[in-house]
Structure 1
Amino acid sequence: MPALPWSEGLVLGLSFMDDTHKEFVDLLARCEGSTDAQLPVLWNELIAHTDDHFGREEEWMLATGFAAGNCHATQHKVVLQVLREGAAMARQGELAPIRQMIRELAAWFPQHAQTMDAALALHLRGVGYDAATGEVRHPDALPLEEISGCGGASCS
């Protein structure tokens, strides 16, 4: 069983977020179960997916009233930097750090999804955001000031 299996606890109720999160969990499991020969290629797939995944979330944030430097986006940048450092290590033949990163990501992701992403999902529902079109159906619900925190009540 992978360190991070997909579960109902990760479901946010927005298919465009949940589908992407499931892909992340599946890719992480593929990395975890890979041979050393397969790991660098799969790790690069995980990086490409995660870069796209985080980029879309950041587009949604900017379209709905988040400041460019909000803490959610900052956490994305840090995680991507660590993933890229893992890829650099893999190019040097060092795979043990990536195996450790897989375990750390399996611990980090549920907390990130259940806090920052859940707050984003709640915000997107509140403003009626349509990810397919970029339309904000309830512009009157947009924040009066840019959100610099994660979007949750405890850090906005």
Structure 2
Amino acid sequence: MTTVLMGYAPMDAVHGEFEALVASALACPDDELHAALLRVHEHLLAHFGQEDRWMRETGFPAADCHIEEHGNVLKSADEVLPLVAAGRHDVGRSFAAELRNWFPGHADYLDSALAAWLCKRQYGGKPVVLHPRRNPG
């Protein structure tokens, strides 16, 4: 997974941590999967909690949709964890893969708007993200 950068450093840091935890869950052996997904769940609670607080504290206009999506992901995690604990590693791996696939779209559509909102309030302008030049050939 490539780190999705929003240009708001606190968000970028937590996104990098999320991506690393999901990658770890996808790569670990079955006997470590439940523990890896517990770490992902713990991270999601803190990650989403922080973003939800930012939205509420700053009056972010699109907060309801964004917070609802966070809640749906947490609900899925709450349903998956007991299944993995009971030996359904396939469900856990599928969940981790879905998180990996879901995240770029969530970041592009919801987190980018929040990052722009927070940067505008804090710095007076939009975030800037510099990417290395890609070689066309």
SS at 2:41 equivalent: helix
Deviations 1:57-104 (A, max 9, x none): 000000110379701000000001101111011122111111111111
Q: Distance in 2 between matches of 1:98 and 1:84?
A: 11
Q: Distance in 1 between matches of 2:80 and 2:25?
A: 12
The share of aligned pairs that are identical, in percent, is 34
Q: Which runs of 5+ in 2 are unaligned?
A: 125-137
Please state which structure has a larger fraction of its residues in helix. 2
Q: Which runs of 5+ in 1 are unaligned?
A: 130-137, 139-156
Q: Distance in 1 between matches of 2:16 and 2:62?
A: 26
Question: What TM-score does the superposition give when structure 2 sets the normalisation length?
Answer: 0.85
Task: Check 1:23–1:106 CA distance in 2 against 1; reply closer, same or farther (3 A cut).
Answer: same
Q: Is the 8 A contact 1:62 1:68 kept in 2?
A: no
- Count residues in correspondence: 124
- Alignment counterpart, residue 31 of structure 1, candidates 5, 21, 25: 25
The correspondence of residues 79-94 of structure 1 with structure 2, limited to 5 A, is 79-94=73-88
- Aligned partner of 2:2 in structure 1 is 6
Give the ranges of 4+ consecutive aligned residues of structure 1 lying more than 4 Å apart after TM superposition.
none
- Aligned partner of 1:40 in structure 2 is 34
